[in-house]
Structure 1
Protein backbone atom coordinates (compact mmCIF):
# COMPACT_ATOMS: atom_id res chain seq x y z
CA UNK A 1 0.00 0.00 0.00
CA UNK A 2 1.44 3.37 -0.98
CA UNK A 3 1.81 6.26 1.46
CA UNK A 4 -0.99 8.28 -0.10
CA UNK A 5 -3.55 5.53 0.26
CA UNK A 6 -2.44 4.77 3.82
CA UNK A 7 -2.74 8.46 4.75
CA UNK A 8 -6.21 8.75 3.25
CA UNK A 9 -7.40 5.61 5.01
CA UNK A 10 -6.36 7.28 8.26
CA UNK A 11 -8.58 10.23 7.34
CA UNK A 12 -11.70 8.06 7.07
CA UNK A 13 -11.03 5.86 10.11
CA UNK A 14 -9.27 5.74 13.45
CA UNK A 15 -6.65 3.09 14.18
CA UNK A 16 -8.11 0.76 11.58
CA UNK A 17 -11.71 1.11 12.80
CA UNK A 18 -14.43 2.98 10.98
CA UNK A 19 -17.60 4.88 11.79
CA UNK A 20 -18.84 6.07 8.41
CA UNK A 21 -22.23 7.73 7.93
CA UNK A 22 -23.41 7.36 4.31
CA UNK A 23 -25.88 9.97 3.13
CA UNK A 24 -25.97 9.17 -0.57
CA UNK A 25 -29.61 8.18 -0.12
CA UNK A 26 -30.76 11.45 -1.71
CA UNK A 27 -30.16 9.95 -5.14
CA UNK A 28 -32.03 6.77 -4.18
CA UNK A 29 -34.86 8.03 -1.98
CA UNK A 30 -34.95 11.79 -2.50
CA UNK A 31 -34.74 14.49 0.17
CA UNK A 32 -36.00 12.33 3.03
CA UNK A 33 -35.87 13.20 6.73
CA UNK A 34 -32.31 13.95 7.75
CA UNK A 35 -31.20 14.90 4.24
CA UNK A 36 -33.14 18.09 3.53
CA UNK A 37 -30.95 20.08 5.88
CA UNK A 38 -27.97 17.82 5.30
CA UNK A 39 -25.62 20.49 6.58
CA UNK A 40 -27.03 20.21 10.11
CA UNK A 41 -27.00 16.42 9.95
CA UNK A 42 -23.37 16.31 8.85
CA UNK A 43 -22.42 18.70 11.63
CA UNK A 44 -24.26 16.56 14.19
CA UNK A 45 -22.86 13.17 13.20
CA UNK A 46 -19.29 14.39 12.97
CA UNK A 47 -19.58 16.10 16.35
CA UNK A 48 -20.86 12.76 17.62
CA UNK A 49 -17.72 10.95 16.49
CA UNK A 50 -18.22 9.85 12.89
CA UNK A 51 -14.84 9.27 11.25
CA UNK A 52 -16.21 10.08 7.81
CA UNK A 53 -19.35 10.95 5.88
CA UNK A 54 -20.27 9.71 2.44
CA UNK A 55 -22.37 11.39 -0.24
CA UNK A 56 -22.68 11.65 -3.98
CA UNK A 57 -20.05 14.09 -5.25
CA UNK A 58 -22.55 16.68 -6.44
CA UNK A 59 -23.26 17.92 -2.92
CA UNK A 60 -19.64 17.99 -1.74
CA UNK A 61 -19.94 21.75 -1.35
CA UNK A 62 -22.57 21.20 1.34
CA UNK A 63 -20.39 18.64 3.11
CA UNK A 64 -16.99 20.26 3.62
CA UNK A 65 -18.00 23.33 5.65
CA UNK A 66 -19.88 21.14 8.14
CA UNK A 67 -17.84 17.97 8.62
CA UNK A 68 -15.66 19.16 11.53
CA UNK A 69 -12.43 17.75 10.03
CA UNK A 70 -13.92 14.30 9.48
CA UNK A 71 -13.08 12.40 6.30
CA UNK A 72 -15.14 12.56 3.12
CA UNK A 73 -16.01 9.66 0.80
CA UNK A 74 -17.57 10.26 -2.63
CA UNK A 75 -19.96 7.56 -3.79
CA UNK A 76 -19.71 6.83 -7.51
CA UNK A 77 -22.76 4.84 -8.55
CA UNK A 78 -26.46 4.88 -7.83
CA UNK A 79 -30.08 4.23 -8.75
CA UNK A 80 -33.50 5.42 -7.61
CA UNK A 81 -36.26 3.73 -5.67
CA UNK A 82 -38.82 4.94 -8.23
CA UNK A 83 -36.98 3.53 -11.23
CA UNK A 84 -37.56 0.10 -12.77
CA UNK A 85 -34.96 -1.71 -10.63
CA UNK A 86 -33.11 -0.26 -7.65
CA UNK A 87 -30.44 -2.99 -7.90
CA UNK A 88 -29.30 -1.59 -11.25
CA UNK A 89 -26.63 0.81 -9.97
CA UNK A 90 -25.02 3.00 -12.63
CA UNK A 91 -21.75 4.95 -12.56
CA UNK A 92 -22.18 8.58 -11.44
CA UNK A 93 -18.62 9.88 -11.57
CA UNK A 94 -14.92 9.20 -11.92
CA UNK A 95 -12.02 9.11 -9.49
CA UNK A 96 -10.87 12.45 -10.88
CA UNK A 97 -14.36 13.88 -10.21
CA UNK A 98 -14.08 12.66 -6.62
CA UNK A 99 -10.65 14.21 -6.17
CA UNK A 100 -11.92 17.53 -7.51
CA UNK A 101 -14.76 17.24 -4.97
CA UNK A 102 -12.23 16.93 -2.14
CA UNK A 103 -12.77 13.23 -1.42
CA UNK A 104 -10.41 11.21 0.75
CA UNK A 105 -11.82 7.95 -0.68
CA UNK A 106 -14.43 6.67 -3.11
CA UNK A 107 -17.12 4.03 -2.78
CA UNK A 108 -19.01 1.79 -5.19
CA UNK A 109 -22.01 -0.52 -4.71
CA UNK A 110 -22.34 -3.98 -6.25
CA UNK A 111 -25.14 -6.54 -5.89
CA UNK A 112 -23.58 -9.99 -6.05
CA UNK A 113 -26.11 -12.49 -7.34
CA UNK A 114 -28.26 -9.94 -9.16
CA UNK A 115 -28.77 -9.83 -12.91
CA UNK A 116 -26.48 -6.79 -12.95
CA UNK A 117 -23.58 -8.60 -11.27
CA UNK A 118 -21.39 -8.80 -14.39
CA UNK A 119 -21.59 -5.12 -15.19
CA UNK A 120 -21.07 -4.13 -11.55
CA UNK A 121 -18.04 -6.43 -11.17
CA UNK A 122 -16.52 -4.81 -14.24
CA UNK A 123 -17.36 -1.37 -12.88
CA UNK A 124 -15.72 -2.01 -9.52
CA UNK A 125 -12.62 -3.48 -11.14
CA UNK A 126 -12.31 -0.43 -13.37
CA UNK A 127 -12.78 1.92 -10.42
CA UNK A 128 -10.16 0.26 -8.21
CA UNK A 129 -7.67 0.46 -11.07
CA UNK A 130 -8.33 4.18 -11.47
CA UNK A 131 -8.16 4.79 -7.72
CA UNK A 132 -4.87 2.92 -7.35
CA UNK A 133 -3.20 5.30 -9.78
CA UNK A 134 -4.12 8.20 -7.49
CA UNK A 135 -3.52 6.47 -4.15
CA UNK A 136 -7.22 6.82 -3.31
CA UNK A 137 -8.86 4.13 -1.12
CA UNK A 138 -11.98 2.31 -2.31
CA UNK A 139 -14.84 1.30 -0.04
CA UNK A 140 -16.70 -1.48 -1.86
CA UNK A 141 -20.32 -1.96 -0.80
CA UNK A 142 -20.65 -5.66 -1.59
CA UNK A 143 -24.13 -7.01 -1.01
CA UNK A 144 -25.47 -10.51 -1.65
CA UNK A 145 -28.74 -9.73 -3.43
CA UNK A 146 -30.53 -11.55 -6.16
CA UNK A 147 -33.31 -13.98 -7.08
CA UNK A 148 -31.39 -16.99 -5.75
CA UNK A 149 -30.36 -15.37 -2.45
CA UNK A 150 -32.58 -15.66 0.61
CA UNK A 151 -31.51 -13.52 3.59
CA UNK A 152 -33.47 -15.87 5.87
CA UNK A 153 -31.66 -19.00 4.67
CA UNK A 154 -29.13 -20.73 6.92
CA UNK A 155 -26.45 -20.38 4.23
CA UNK A 156 -26.96 -16.62 3.73
CA UNK A 157 -23.64 -15.90 5.45
CA UNK A 158 -21.90 -18.00 2.79
CA UNK A 159 -23.25 -15.69 0.10
CA UNK A 160 -22.27 -12.62 2.11
CA UNK A 161 -18.81 -14.07 2.63
CA UNK A 162 -18.53 -14.58 -1.13
CA UNK A 163 -19.56 -10.97 -1.69
CA UNK A 164 -16.88 -9.49 0.57
CA UNK A 165 -14.22 -11.78 -0.87
CA UNK A 166 -15.19 -10.57 -4.32
CA UNK A 167 -14.53 -7.00 -3.14
CA UNK A 168 -11.01 -7.94 -2.11
CA UNK A 169 -10.38 -9.89 -5.30
CA UNK A 170 -11.31 -6.79 -7.31
CA UNK A 171 -8.91 -4.52 -5.43
CA UNK A 172 -11.00 -2.73 -2.80
CA UNK A 173 -9.47 -1.53 0.47
CA UNK A 174 -12.50 -1.74 2.79
CA UNK A 175 -15.69 -3.75 2.26
CA UNK A 176 -19.18 -3.01 3.51
CA UNK A 177 -21.95 -5.58 3.66
CA UNK A 178 -25.12 -6.60 5.47
CA UNK A 179 -24.98 -8.07 8.95
CA UNK A 180 -26.08 -11.70 9.01
CA UNK A 181 -27.97 -11.52 12.31
CA UNK A 182 -25.50 -12.75 14.90
CA UNK A 183 -21.80 -12.85 15.69
CA UNK A 184 -21.49 -16.57 15.00
CA UNK A 185 -22.66 -16.41 11.39
CA UNK A 186 -20.95 -13.08 10.73
CA UNK A 187 -17.58 -14.48 11.78
CA UNK A 188 -17.51 -16.47 8.53
CA UNK A 189 -17.99 -13.22 6.62
CA UNK A 190 -15.09 -11.51 8.39
CA UNK A 191 -12.87 -14.55 7.88
CA UNK A 192 -13.66 -14.58 4.14
CA UNK A 193 -11.40 -11.57 3.49
CA UNK A 194 -8.26 -9.97 4.82
CA UNK A 195 -9.83 -6.53 4.34
CA UNK A 196 -11.57 -4.51 7.07
CA UNK A 197 -15.29 -5.37 7.03
CA UNK A 198 -17.89 -2.78 8.05
CA UNK A 199 -21.60 -3.40 8.38
CA UNK A 200 -24.54 -1.56 6.90
CA UNK A 201 -27.36 -0.37 9.13
CA UNK A 202 -30.28 -1.26 6.91
CA UNK A 203 -33.78 -0.15 7.87
CA UNK A 204 -33.91 1.69 11.14
CA UNK A 205 -34.66 -0.34 14.26
CA UNK A 206 -34.70 0.65 17.93
CA UNK A 207 -31.55 2.13 19.45
CA UNK A 208 -31.02 -1.05 21.42
CA UNK A 209 -31.30 -3.19 18.29
CA UNK A 210 -28.88 -0.94 16.43
CA UNK A 211 -26.25 -1.06 19.16
CA UNK A 212 -26.63 -4.81 19.70
CA UNK A 213 -26.08 -5.33 15.98
CA UNK A 214 -22.91 -3.22 16.09
CA UNK A 215 -21.72 -5.07 19.19
CA UNK A 216 -22.31 -8.44 17.51
CA UNK A 217 -20.42 -7.39 14.40
CA UNK A 218 -17.46 -6.17 16.43
CA UNK A 219 -17.45 -9.39 18.45
CA UNK A 220 -17.19 -11.26 15.14
CA UNK A 221 -14.13 -9.24 14.15
CA UNK A 222 -15.66 -6.45 12.09
CA UNK A 223 -13.81 -3.14 11.74
CA UNK A 224 -16.82 -0.88 12.24
CA UNK A 225 -19.91 0.41 10.50
CA UNK A 226 -21.10 2.32 7.47
CA UNK A 227 -24.53 3.14 8.79
CA UNK A 228 -26.97 5.56 7.17
CA UNK A 229 -30.67 5.71 8.02
CA UNK A 230 -30.24 4.38 11.56
CA UNK A 231 -28.14 7.47 12.21
CA UNK A 232 -29.19 10.33 9.92
CA UNK A 233 -32.92 9.74 10.48
CA UNK A 234 -32.55 9.45 14.25
CA UNK A 235 -34.21 12.09 16.45
CA UNK A 236 -30.74 12.94 17.76
CA UNK A 237 -28.09 12.01 15.15
CA UNK A 238 -25.26 13.27 17.35
CA UNK A 239 -26.16 11.03 20.28
CA UNK A 240 -26.73 7.87 18.27
CA UNK A 241 -23.44 8.45 16.43
CA UNK A 242 -21.69 8.82 19.78
CA UNK A 243 -23.23 5.56 20.98
CA UNK A 244 -22.12 3.69 17.85
CA UNK A 245 -18.64 5.20 18.11
CA UNK A 246 -18.46 4.08 21.74
CA UNK A 247 -18.95 0.47 20.64
CA UNK A 248 -16.63 0.65 17.63
CA UNK A 249 -13.80 2.70 19.09
CA UNK A 250 -14.09 2.15 22.85
CA UNK A 251 -15.31 -1.47 22.78
CA UNK A 252 -18.34 -0.57 24.92
CA UNK A 253 -21.27 -2.88 25.50
CA UNK A 254 -24.52 -1.79 23.87
CA UNK A 255 -26.29 -0.68 27.05
CA UNK A 256 -23.22 1.21 28.31
CA UNK A 257 -22.80 2.95 24.97
CA UNK A 258 -26.43 4.09 24.95
CA UNK A 259 -26.23 5.29 28.54
CA UNK A 260 -22.97 7.17 27.99
CA UNK A 261 -24.42 8.88 24.93
CA UNK A 262 -27.47 10.03 26.86
CA UNK A 263 -29.95 7.69 25.19
CA UNK A 264 -32.51 5.53 26.93
CA UNK A 265 -31.66 1.89 27.65
CA UNK A 266 -34.53 -0.51 27.09
CA UNK A 267 -35.59 -2.60 30.08
Structure 2
Protein backbone atom coordinates (compact mmCIF):
# COMPACT_ATOMS: atom_id res chain seq x y z
CA UNK A 1 0.00 0.00 0.00
CA UNK A 2 1.31 3.43 -0.93
CA UNK A 3 1.80 6.34 1.44
CA UNK A 4 -0.87 8.24 -0.49
CA UNK A 5 -3.44 5.48 -0.06
CA UNK A 6 -2.60 5.16 3.64
CA UNK A 7 -3.08 8.91 4.08
CA UNK A 8 -6.43 8.86 2.27
CA UNK A 9 -7.69 5.86 4.24
CA UNK A 10 -6.88 7.81 7.40
CA UNK A 11 -9.06 10.68 6.12
CA UNK A 12 -12.13 8.44 5.91
CA UNK A 13 -11.69 6.78 9.29
CA UNK A 14 -10.47 7.15 12.85
CA UNK A 15 -8.04 4.66 14.33
CA UNK A 16 -8.81 2.12 11.62
CA UNK A 17 -12.58 2.35 12.11
CA UNK A 18 -15.00 4.03 9.73
CA UNK A 19 -18.23 5.93 10.35
CA UNK A 20 -19.42 6.76 6.85
CA UNK A 21 -22.71 8.48 6.03
CA UNK A 22 -23.73 7.69 2.43
CA UNK A 23 -26.01 10.29 0.86
CA UNK A 24 -26.01 9.11 -2.75
CA UNK A 25 -29.73 8.37 -2.41
CA UNK A 26 -30.64 11.49 -4.39
CA UNK A 27 -29.89 9.54 -7.56
CA UNK A 28 -31.79 6.47 -6.38
CA UNK A 29 -34.78 8.03 -4.61
CA UNK A 30 -34.77 11.71 -5.53
CA UNK A 31 -34.69 14.70 -3.20
CA UNK A 32 -36.00 12.87 -0.12
CA UNK A 33 -36.04 14.13 3.46
CA UNK A 34 -32.52 14.95 4.60
CA UNK A 35 -31.20 15.54 1.10
CA UNK A 36 -33.17 18.59 -0.03
CA UNK A 37 -30.91 20.77 2.10
CA UNK A 38 -27.94 18.43 1.90
CA UNK A 39 -25.63 21.22 3.08
CA UNK A 40 -27.25 21.31 6.53
CA UNK A 41 -27.30 17.53 6.78
CA UNK A 42 -23.62 17.22 5.92
CA UNK A 43 -22.82 19.86 8.51
CA UNK A 44 -24.88 18.05 11.16
CA UNK A 45 -23.50 14.55 10.64
CA UNK A 46 -19.90 15.68 10.46
CA UNK A 47 -20.30 17.77 13.61
CA UNK A 48 -21.72 14.61 15.17
CA UNK A 49 -18.58 12.64 14.36
CA UNK A 50 -18.95 11.12 10.90
CA UNK A 51 -15.53 10.24 9.54
CA UNK A 52 -16.65 10.59 5.93
CA UNK A 53 -19.59 11.51 3.73
CA UNK A 54 -20.36 9.67 0.49
CA UNK A 55 -22.29 11.08 -2.47
CA UNK A 56 -22.44 11.02 -6.24
CA UNK A 57 -19.78 13.39 -7.57
CA UNK A 58 -22.25 15.93 -8.96
CA UNK A 59 -23.06 17.30 -5.50
CA UNK A 60 -19.46 17.41 -4.26
CA UNK A 61 -19.53 21.20 -4.35
CA UNK A 62 -22.41 21.12 -1.84
CA UNK A 63 -20.51 18.73 0.45
CA UNK A 64 -17.02 20.17 0.81
CA UNK A 65 -17.89 23.59 2.32
CA UNK A 66 -19.98 21.90 5.03
CA UNK A 67 -17.94 18.78 5.87
CA UNK A 68 -16.03 20.19 8.87
CA UNK A 69 -12.83 18.44 7.81
CA UNK A 70 -14.39 15.00 7.32
CA UNK A 71 -13.37 12.79 4.43
CA UNK A 72 -15.24 12.59 1.13
CA UNK A 73 -16.04 9.47 -0.92
CA UNK A 74 -17.38 9.65 -4.48
CA UNK A 75 -19.73 6.87 -5.50
CA UNK A 76 -19.27 5.62 -9.06
CA UNK A 77 -22.40 3.69 -9.99
CA UNK A 78 -26.12 3.78 -9.38
CA UNK A 79 -29.70 3.21 -10.46
CA UNK A 80 -33.15 4.61 -9.64
CA UNK A 81 -36.09 3.19 -7.72
CA UNK A 82 -38.43 4.02 -10.62
CA UNK A 83 -36.29 2.45 -13.33
CA UNK A 84 -36.70 -1.03 -14.81
CA UNK A 85 -34.31 -2.77 -12.39
CA UNK A 86 -32.86 -1.09 -9.32
CA UNK A 87 -30.22 -3.83 -8.93
CA UNK A 88 -28.77 -2.93 -12.34
CA UNK A 89 -26.26 -0.36 -11.13
CA UNK A 90 -24.59 1.54 -13.98
CA UNK A 91 -21.36 3.55 -14.02
CA UNK A 92 -21.82 7.21 -13.12
CA UNK A 93 -18.21 8.36 -13.19
CA UNK A 94 -14.54 7.47 -13.28
CA UNK A 95 -11.75 7.60 -10.73
CA UNK A 96 -10.42 10.71 -12.47
CA UNK A 97 -13.85 12.32 -12.13
CA UNK A 98 -13.75 11.51 -8.41
CA UNK A 99 -10.31 13.06 -8.03
CA UNK A 100 -11.50 16.23 -9.76
CA UNK A 101 -14.43 16.27 -7.32
CA UNK A 102 -12.00 16.24 -4.38
CA UNK A 103 -12.58 12.65 -3.29
CA UNK A 104 -10.40 10.88 -0.73
CA UNK A 105 -11.77 7.52 -1.91
CA UNK A 106 -14.20 6.00 -4.39
CA UNK A 107 -16.98 3.47 -3.88
CA UNK A 108 -18.73 0.99 -6.13
CA UNK A 109 -21.83 -1.18 -5.55
CA UNK A 110 -21.96 -4.83 -6.64
CA UNK A 111 -24.89 -7.23 -6.21
CA UNK A 112 -23.24 -10.63 -5.82
CA UNK A 113 -25.61 -13.35 -6.98
CA UNK A 114 -27.72 -11.14 -9.22
CA UNK A 115 -27.99 -11.38 -12.99
CA UNK A 116 -25.90 -8.20 -13.13
CA UNK A 117 -22.99 -9.72 -11.19
CA UNK A 118 -20.79 -10.50 -14.24
CA UNK A 119 -20.81 -6.91 -15.54
CA UNK A 120 -20.38 -5.49 -12.04
CA UNK A 121 -17.40 -7.78 -11.36
CA UNK A 122 -15.72 -6.46 -14.49
CA UNK A 123 -16.51 -2.86 -13.63
CA UNK A 124 -15.36 -3.16 -10.00
CA UNK A 125 -12.08 -4.70 -11.15
CA UNK A 126 -11.58 -1.79 -13.54
CA UNK A 127 -12.35 0.76 -10.80
CA UNK A 128 -9.94 -0.78 -8.28
CA UNK A 129 -7.19 -0.98 -10.93
CA UNK A 130 -7.64 2.66 -11.90
CA UNK A 131 -7.87 3.77 -8.27
CA UNK A 132 -4.67 1.91 -7.44
CA UNK A 133 -2.80 3.90 -10.08
CA UNK A 134 -3.74 7.10 -8.26
CA UNK A 135 -3.27 5.79 -4.72
CA UNK A 136 -7.00 6.19 -4.05
CA UNK A 137 -8.78 3.68 -1.78
CA UNK A 138 -11.84 1.80 -3.02
CA UNK A 139 -14.85 0.99 -0.84
CA UNK A 140 -16.71 -1.96 -2.38
CA UNK A 141 -20.38 -2.15 -1.45
CA UNK A 142 -20.69 -5.91 -1.83
CA UNK A 143 -24.18 -7.25 -1.20
CA UNK A 144 -25.49 -10.81 -1.54
CA UNK A 145 -28.62 -10.28 -3.63
CA UNK A 146 -30.12 -12.70 -6.09
CA UNK A 147 -32.42 -15.65 -6.67
CA UNK A 148 -30.08 -18.14 -4.99
CA UNK A 149 -29.06 -15.96 -2.03
CA UNK A 150 -30.18 -17.69 1.17
CA UNK A 151 -31.37 -14.66 3.11
CA UNK A 152 -34.16 -16.59 4.86
CA UNK A 153 -31.61 -18.46 7.01
CA UNK A 154 -29.18 -16.32 9.07
CA UNK A 155 -26.41 -18.94 9.05
CA UNK A 156 -26.60 -19.51 5.30
CA UNK A 157 -27.06 -15.80 4.62
CA UNK A 158 -23.84 -15.15 6.55
CA UNK A 159 -22.07 -17.59 4.22
CA UNK A 160 -23.37 -15.71 1.18
CA UNK A 161 -22.35 -12.38 2.69
CA UNK A 162 -18.95 -13.91 3.42
CA UNK A 163 -18.67 -14.81 -0.27
CA UNK A 164 -19.55 -11.22 -1.21
CA UNK A 165 -16.92 -9.64 1.04
CA UNK A 166 -14.27 -12.12 -0.09
CA UNK A 167 -15.07 -11.25 -3.70
CA UNK A 168 -14.37 -7.60 -2.87
CA UNK A 169 -10.96 -8.50 -1.50
CA UNK A 170 -10.17 -10.72 -4.49
CA UNK A 171 -10.92 -7.73 -6.74
CA UNK A 172 -8.50 -5.52 -4.74
CA UNK A 173 -10.89 -3.30 -2.79
CA UNK A 174 -9.56 -1.67 0.38
CA UNK A 175 -12.72 -1.55 2.53
CA UNK A 176 -15.90 -3.58 2.06
CA UNK A 177 -19.47 -2.75 3.02
CA UNK A 178 -22.16 -5.41 3.31
CA UNK A 179 -25.46 -6.16 5.02
CA UNK A 180 -25.66 -7.23 8.65
CA UNK A 181 -26.64 -10.88 9.03
CA UNK A 182 -28.71 -10.23 12.13
CA UNK A 183 -26.47 -11.24 15.04
CA UNK A 184 -22.91 -10.99 16.27
CA UNK A 185 -22.64 -14.78 16.12
CA UNK A 186 -23.54 -15.08 12.45
CA UNK A 187 -21.74 -11.90 11.41
CA UNK A 188 -18.48 -13.26 12.78
CA UNK A 189 -18.57 -15.71 9.86
CA UNK A 190 -18.75 -12.76 7.47
CA UNK A 191 -15.86 -10.88 9.05
CA UNK A 192 -13.58 -13.93 9.07
CA UNK A 193 -14.10 -14.36 5.32
CA UNK A 194 -11.83 -11.42 4.48
CA UNK A 195 -8.81 -9.55 5.76
CA UNK A 196 -10.37 -6.26 4.64
CA UNK A 197 -12.01 -3.84 7.09
CA UNK A 198 -15.74 -4.68 7.03
CA UNK A 199 -18.40 -2.02 7.54
CA UNK A 200 -22.11 -2.73 7.79
CA UNK A 201 -24.95 -1.11 5.90
CA UNK A 202 -27.60 0.70 7.90
CA UNK A 203 -30.38 -1.70 7.10
CA UNK A 204 -34.05 -0.82 7.51
CA UNK A 205 -34.84 2.25 9.59
CA UNK A 206 -35.70 1.18 13.15
CA UNK A 207 -35.67 2.70 16.62
CA UNK A 208 -32.49 4.33 17.89
CA UNK A 209 -31.90 1.42 20.25
CA UNK A 210 -32.34 -1.09 17.42
CA UNK A 211 -29.92 0.84 15.22
CA UNK A 212 -27.30 1.15 17.94
CA UNK A 213 -27.71 -2.46 19.06
CA UNK A 214 -27.03 -3.53 15.47
CA UNK A 215 -23.84 -1.45 15.44
CA UNK A 216 -22.83 -2.91 18.79
CA UNK A 217 -23.39 -6.47 17.52
CA UNK A 218 -21.38 -5.83 14.38
CA UNK A 219 -18.48 -4.36 16.34
CA UNK A 220 -18.57 -7.28 18.77
CA UNK A 221 -18.31 -9.61 15.75
CA UNK A 222 -15.19 -7.80 14.53
CA UNK A 223 -16.61 -5.23 12.11
CA UNK A 224 -14.60 -2.08 11.56
CA UNK A 225 -17.41 0.39 11.10
CA UNK A 226 -20.69 1.37 9.55
CA UNK A 227 -21.87 3.00 6.34
CA UNK A 228 -25.30 4.19 7.43
CA UNK A 229 -27.53 6.38 5.31
CA UNK A 230 -31.23 6.93 5.96
CA UNK A 231 -31.08 5.87 9.62
CA UNK A 232 -28.82 8.89 10.08
CA UNK A 233 -29.64 11.53 7.47
CA UNK A 234 -33.43 11.12 7.84
CA UNK A 235 -33.29 11.07 11.64
CA UNK A 236 -35.05 13.88 13.51
CA UNK A 237 -31.63 14.80 14.95
CA UNK A 238 -28.89 13.68 12.53
CA UNK A 239 -26.12 15.14 14.65
CA UNK A 240 -27.21 13.31 17.81
CA UNK A 241 -27.69 9.91 16.17
CA UNK A 242 -24.28 10.26 14.50
CA UNK A 243 -22.77 11.08 17.88
CA UNK A 244 -24.40 7.98 19.34
CA UNK A 245 -23.11 5.70 16.57
CA UNK A 246 -19.66 7.22 17.03
CA UNK A 247 -19.83 6.46 20.76
CA UNK A 248 -20.42 2.77 20.04
CA UNK A 249 -17.86 2.59 17.26
CA UNK A 250 -15.05 4.74 18.62
CA UNK A 251 -15.66 4.77 22.40
CA UNK A 252 -16.87 1.15 22.86
CA UNK A 253 -20.18 2.30 24.38
CA UNK A 254 -23.23 0.09 24.73
CA UNK A 255 -26.42 1.09 22.93
CA UNK A 256 -27.91 2.55 26.12
CA UNK A 257 -24.69 4.37 27.00
CA UNK A 258 -24.59 5.85 23.51
CA UNK A 259 -28.20 7.04 23.72
CA UNK A 260 -27.44 8.76 27.01
CA UNK A 261 -24.15 10.27 25.80
CA UNK A 262 -25.82 11.75 22.71
CA UNK A 263 -28.82 13.07 24.62
CA UNK A 264 -31.30 11.08 22.54
CA UNK A 265 -34.81 10.50 23.94
CA UNK A 266 -35.13 7.25 25.88
CA UNK A 267 -37.57 5.06 23.98
CA UNK A 268 -40.32 3.14 25.73
Secondary structure, counterpart of 1:9 in structure 2: helix
For 1:115, the equivalent position in structure 2 comes to 115
Map of 1:54 onto structure 2: 54
Structure 2 CA distance for aligned equivalents of residues 141 and 84 of structure 1: 21
Structure 2 stretches of 5 or more lacking a match?
none
Paired position in structure 1 for 2:223 = 222
Q: Which residue number corresponds to residue 232 of structure 2? A: 231
- Once the two structures are superposed, residues 65-101 of structure 1 have per-residue CA deviations (whole angstroms, 9 ceiling, x without a partner) of 0000000000000000000110000000000000000
Take 2:121 and 2:22, find their aligned partners in 1: how far apart are those partners? 21
The equivalences for 1:1-267 within 5 A come to 1-153=1-153, 154-267=155-268
The alpha-carbon deviation at position 150 of structure 1 amounts to 3.3
User: What is the alpha-carbon distance in structure 1 between the residues aligned to residue 85 and residue 45 of structure 2?
Assistant: 31
- Tell me the SS of whatever aligns to 2:86: coil
**CA–CA distance in 2 between the matches of 1:224 and 1:128?**
21
Cα-to-partner distance string for 1:92-137 (whole Å, 9 max, x where unaligned): 0000000000000000000000000000000000000000000000
* Distance in 2 between residues matched to 1:175 and 1:13, nearest whole Å: 13
Displacement of 1:151: 1.7
Which deviates more, 52-61 or 257-266? 257-266
Q: Measure, in 2, the Cα distance between the counterparts of 1:165 and 1:79.
A: 24
* Separation in 2, partners of 1:240, 1:258: 8
> Partner of 1:36: helix, strand, or coil?
coil
Q: What value does the CA root-mean-square deviation take over the aligned residues?
A: 0.6
Partner SS, residue 155 of structure 1: helix
1:33-84 per-position Cα deviation (integer Å, ceiling 9, x unaligned) = 0000000000000000000000000000000000000000000000000001
Determine the C-alpha separation between the residues in 1 that align with 2:163 and 2:48: 33
Which range moved further: 256-265 or 41-50?
A: 256-265
Q: When the two structures are superposed, what TM-score results if normalisation uses the length of structure 2?
A: 0.99
In 2, Cα distance between equivalents of 1:265 and 1:192: 36
Matched residue of 1:143: which SS? Answer: strand
Supply the distance in 1 between the matched residues of 2:126 and 2:204 (Cα, whole angstroms): 30
Give the whole-Å Cα distance in 2 for the aligned partners of 1:168 and 1:147: 23
Distance 2:162 2:266 in 1: 32
TM superposition score normalised by structure 1: 0.99
